[in-house]
Structure 1
Amino acid sequence: MTIDRPDPPRDPLELGGSVWFKAGAQTLGGAARIALLAAIGETGSITSAAKAVGISYKGAWDAVDTMNNLAGEPLVVRLTGGKGGGGTTLTPRAVKLIDTFRAVEREHRRFLERAGAAIGEGFATDWDLIGRIGVKTSARNQFYGRVSAIARGTVNDEVTLALAGGHAIVAVLTHESTEALGLAVGVAAFALIKASWVVLLVAGNGDGGAPLKLSARNQLHGTVHSVKRGAVNAQVSLGLEGGAVITAVVTNASVDTLGLQEGARAVAVFKASSVILGVKD
């Protein structure tokens, strides 16, 4: 049985960012603290300023003390006595800091607008790719594709992931995992396979890429791209149609027995239970 649910609607991606000041390794403040300084300057009251920016009185004074310490000079000073019973005020240094921050922030907004216009309609696709290539895992083999089918079993589901070049990877996972990952036909996902889980075979002449009679669900036919020998084992990488590469770890003896060398044809075989599926949060 297949499950066919459309992806939930997504808002268009846009560039965003923020500006903050640093003193050495310490952060002096960003928009929130500058807004607090500005509110103090406008109201002359730490209580009113705290309410204006939505923080507690204690939180406001903690932020002020931190800024004073990091700046190396007072930015906010307490006034005592007088007809109004005292209050708080900004030093000339704080006023200058606010003006500088607002000038930088204006330029930052202009930069984001120009960058967004330059990126154009391809931004969503490019940003998605940047996120994918930034994933770090211990699994040597990482593939990206879209779910093409989900077959329900008694306990587990069999999920098929369609890859570029006409390849497909089948994974077996529990119903709970399918639901937790939000897997449905059309959903983008990535598959992880450790190199030590991949077995290499050399098919007979004239096999034409036909599936071999094996219990392993996944069989990817390719051409040997590289063989990197170690003391005992070797890393063998197969190039697949569409540009993907899958790597296996086999013994040096197996490399010799199978005649694995650059340009040779081989089949990468691995069980569906050896495939880990993941999605972007």
Structure 2
Amino acid sequence: MKIDGRFWLTKEGQSFLGSGRIELLERIDKIGSIHAAAKEMKMSYKAAWERINGMNALADQPLIERTTGGKGGGGTKLTPYARELISTFHRLNELHRQFIDRFSEAGNDPERLARILSRTFLTTSARNQLPATLSSIESNGLHSTLTLALSGSDTLRSTITAKSVENMGLSIGCDTYAIIKSSDIHVVSVPPSSEAGDNLLSGTIETLERSGDNIEIALRLAGGTLLIALEKQDALQNLEVGRTAYAIISPLHIIIGL
């Protein structure tokens, strides 16, 4: 059994934005035609237009605008307000998915769900706060290496002091968070020949967002976990949206949270 949930935004008691409507807007933005976007989504033009009218009726500003003339004979494009709504929806949808993932940790165990709900939600500057289950503890003098099971089959190793393990009361099977700064994740297109003891996780690049000399990379792991990495522009090599890439993370850069 798995806890799941769909994300919708409502306004004035009516459905406003959902994944299907966002996809329609994004296709219109890409193609420049409501008819062609509807065809790609295998829906009628009438159905597409009704969805757009429904969204426009609830929106604070128009979502689309017509263009006339030009080489293509005119078409349809999104307004800046519509693009802002799309960005907001994706951010809220990702937060919703993270919330559902925390519930899903419990499986069909109500008592474990109660423990998860009783946790204090973390507020840190780290972009990556990943729900995990502690699956093993290996002690080596002053330090201990923890193996953390993320959603799906992905795992991480974190090295912290043995004293921290004791002070936090960590034990196998307990629920934790792996906290990682985005600047401590290095993303490459080809896995290194030697991992040098680092964590190596494969996934698919979802977004690449450039700002100044930096680039933010969203990497979706096979198990569903989303990693956010921050790289310098000059370090970007053969990384493209939709392609497989690899995240390299030192165990020393993974903080444990409860």
Q: TM-score, normalised by structure 2?
A: 0.54
Aligned residue for 1:9?
none
Aligned residue for 2:134?
147
Q: CA 1:223–1:231 in structure 2 vs 1: closer, same or farther (change >3 Å)?
A: same
1:251 aligns with 2:238: no
How far 1:253 moved relative to its partner?
2.3
2:213 to 232, 240, 246: 232
| Distance across 2 between alignment mates of 1:223 and 1:126 | 30
2:159 to 164, 167, 172: 172
Aligned residue for 1:159?
146
1:265 aligns with 2:247: no
Aligned residue for 1:197?
184
2:188/2:239 contact within 8 Å kept: no
| Distance across 2 between alignment mates of 1:198 and 1:260 | 15
Q: Could you report, residue by residue, the CA deviation over 1:93-119 in whole angstroms, capped at 9, with x for unpaired residues?
A: xxxxxxxxxxxxxxxxxxxxxxxxxxx
Kindly report which structure 2 residues correspond to 1:1-281, keeping only aligned pairs within 5 A, or say none. 124=111, 128-130=115-117, 134-203=121-190, 212-255=193-236, 258-279=237-258
SS in structure 2 opposite 1:165? coil
Q: Which runs of 4+ in 1 moved over 3 A?
A: 121-134
How far 1:125 moved relative to its partner?
5.4
1:216/1:270 contact within 8 Å kept: no
| Distance across 1 between alignment mates of 2:109 and 2:171 | 25
| Distance across 2 between alignment mates of 1:250 and 1:241 | 21
The alignment's C-alpha RMSD in Å is 2.2
Q: Could you report, residue by residue, the CA deviation over 1:40-69 in whole angstroms, capped at 9, with x for unpaired residues?
A: xxxxxxxxxxxxxxxxxxxxxxxxxxxxxx
How far 1:162 moved relative to its partner?
0.9
| Distance across 2 between alignment mates of 1:126 and 1:166 | 20
| Distance across 1 between alignment mates of 2:122 and 2:175 | 15
The one-letter amino acid paired with 1:263 is G
| Distance across 1 between alignment mates of 2:231 and 2:241 | 15
Bigger CA drift: 223-232 or 212-221? 212-221
How far 1:185 moved relative to its partner?
1.1
| Distance across 2 between alignment mates of 1:130 and 1:221 | 30
2:141/2:162 contact within 8 Å kept: no
| 5+ long unaligned stretches in structure 1 | 1-120, 205-210
How far 1:274 moved relative to its partner?
0.4
| Distance across 2 between alignment mates of 1:242 and 1:272 | 20
Larger radius of gyration: 1
The one-letter amino acid paired with 2:230 is V
| Distance across 2 between alignment mates of 1:227 and 1:178 | 36
Q: CA 1:152–1:134 in structure 2 vs 1: closer, same or farther (change >3 Å)?
A: closer
Q: CA 1:231–1:132 in structure 2 vs 1: closer, same or farther (change >3 Å)?
A: farther
1:216/1:269 contact within 8 Å kept: no
2:116/2:175 contact within 8 Å kept: no
| Distance across 2 between alignment mates of 1:252 and 1:132 | 38
Q: CA 1:156–1:126 in structure 2 vs 1: closer, same or farther (change >3 Å)?
A: closer
The one-letter amino acid paired with 2:170 is L
